Amino acid sequence: MLKMFVREKTWRLLFLLVGFLSGGLGILYGMTFHYILLSMVLFYAILDWDSCVERLHAGRKYILVFIGYFLYLVLQTFFLFWDSGIEGNAHYGIFETTLLNFILVPVYVAMLKGWLTVPLLKRFLFLFCAGCVLLNGYIVFDLLAGEAFSNAQEALGRLYINRFGENKTSLLGGNLLLEPQVFYIVLAALVSYGLIFWSGRKRVKLACGIMFLLLLLFLSFTVSKAGILAFSLGFIVMNICFMKQNAWKFCWVFSVCVLCIGFMLFASDSFEQKYKERVDEVLTEVMNVRQGIYDGSTIAPRIGFVREAYRHANEFAVCGLGVYAKERVKIWLRDSDAGLGEFRNVHNTFLHYWIQGGILGISLVVFLWGVPLYCMVKNRKYSYLIISLVVVVVITNSTCILLDLNNSRLIIVLLSSMFYFHGDVFYELEKS
């Protein structure tokens, strides 16, 4: 009995550690965090093999979808080597990515069946938000180097002008691209906002409110159109839930948040300047696209990539290009008459996996984000948090290959798997 208690306690603590690291330091070091997750899976399997097998058997249909995609990539690679005629470098990292993300992560989440409760999920989400706040707070002080205390207004202006440091190639020994950073901030902001309503203790509510406001401030520093759009739509979905549950409490919390947000955003003159600059940039690129010019840094290159993909659809539409996908995309962009230049992460996840895996690749992405919504409709247990986070995932992945970046891939698969296996727990969380 004591042994079982210790095992359960250890497993729960490790799960909470995953929540904290997945929102903070864990995203900086590429695939390293996946091996920590692998060690947790092996630890649980060694301690309780029978229970492990039982839980995996219960979730086998979901996991087998990703195993099937991995086997397809292996078979696809064999035929590409045998009779494709494609020249260039093959990128074999897709096999490690598929094993450690699309197979290992669902296996880990399936093992939580029966362990995950509403209180434990609340703690997990709280620690995820706390990790995100601490990481971004460190980035603020790292960029300003103490200037925040001597001249706060000028320091805020610098953060808007340099877009929160943009891509950080050397951060605590790791790296963090801007798009994944924005994605994490939006996720954590929506979760922390929800926890204001779902938490029972006043201290926790206050902590969640502070985290929510800080995360919105961090989001404003990034000046990200996709991030702000994703947050806005997700925020609307969340508020539909809260208006239905408690209209008075919603109005009070919403009013306080709006006042605080307005004060923070307009405390710096650079806020208006930088956002006006971004709007002008978008309008200019829209005009350029109409003239067939796809050079730029916002809308134009994304539209240009879709155009190039359409022109080469005969190469990948059915079977995909597998290990040659990235090399072929580089060649398309380099040889394009639209002046797109070098390969960047401005295209979207849907196209990326279609190019990589053909029909099965795009189907995998649709399955990953669609099946939790299908299960909600089937079971008639609707979670507004799940819906809002799926909206965020779809919007942000439409402008960047987040599902192929080491900074963001794990959390997308982790949350999607949790939505599928533990959608009922999210439902109970919102009813609590």
pLDDT tens profile 62-112: 999 999 999 999 998 888 887 766 766 777 888 888 888 899 999 999 988
Q: What is the pLDDT of residue 316?
A: 84
Query: Residue 419 is encoded by which pair of tokens?
Result: 């939505």
pLDDT confidence band for 430 (50 / 70 / 90)? confident
Residue 357's contacts (CB-CB under 8 Å, 6 or more residues apart) are: 69, 72, 73, 76, 320, 322, 364
Residue-wise pLDDT for 169-223, tens only, equals 777 777 888 889 999 999 999 999 999 888 888 899 899 989 998 998 888 888 8
Query: In this model, does residue 228 exceed pLDDT 80?
Result: yes
What pLDDT does 149 receive? 56
Model pLDDT, residue 254: 66
pLDDT at 1 over 60: no
Helices (H), 48-117: 49-58, 60-83, 93-97, 104-110
Q: Which of 179, 208, 211 is nearest to 195 (CA)?
A: 208
Asked if pLDDT for residue 390 goes beyond 90, the answer is: yes
When pLDDT is averaged across residues 301-311 and rounded to a whole number, the result is 82
Does residue 363 register a pLDDT over 60? yes
Whether the per-residue pLDDT at 367 is higher than 90: the answer is yes
Residue 260's pLDDT band, with cuts at 50, 70 and 90, is low
Q: Contact at 8 Å (CB) between 396 and 179?
A: yes
Most confident of 119-123, 175-179, 343-347: 119-123
Residue that wins the pLDDT comparison between 241 and 53: 53
Would you state the structure tokens that stand for residue 172, as one six-digit string? 């605590």
pLDDT surpassing 80 at residue 344? no
Count of Cβ atoms closer than 10 Å to residue 22 Cβ:
22
Q: How many helices (H) and strands (E) does the chain have?
A: 21, 2
At 247, is the pLDDT very low, low, confident or very high (cuts 50, 70, 90)? low
CA dihedral 165, 28, 126, 228 (to 10 degrees): 40
Token pair 């042994």: residue: 3
281 or 138: which leads in pLDDT: 138
343: pLDDT confidence band, cut at 50, 70 and 90?
A: low
Query: Which pLDDT belongs to residue 188?
Result: 95
Would you say the pTM of this structure is higher than 0.95? no
Q: What is the pLDDT of residue 121?
A: 94
pLDDT at 127: 94
Note the pLDDT of residue 253.
65
Cα of 382 vs its chain's centroid, Å: 21
- The CA-based angle 211-213-214, given to 5 degrees, is 65
Residue-level pLDDT at 183: 93
pLDDT digits (tens, 9 = 90+) for 39-54: 888 888 888 788 888 8
CA distance 150 to 270: 18
The C-alpha atoms of residue 152 and residue 154 are separated, in whole angstroms, by 6
Q: What integer pLDDT is reported at residue 386 of this predicted model?
A: 93
Least confident residue range of 241-245, 288-292, 406-410: 241-245
Mean pLDDT of the residues in the chain: 83
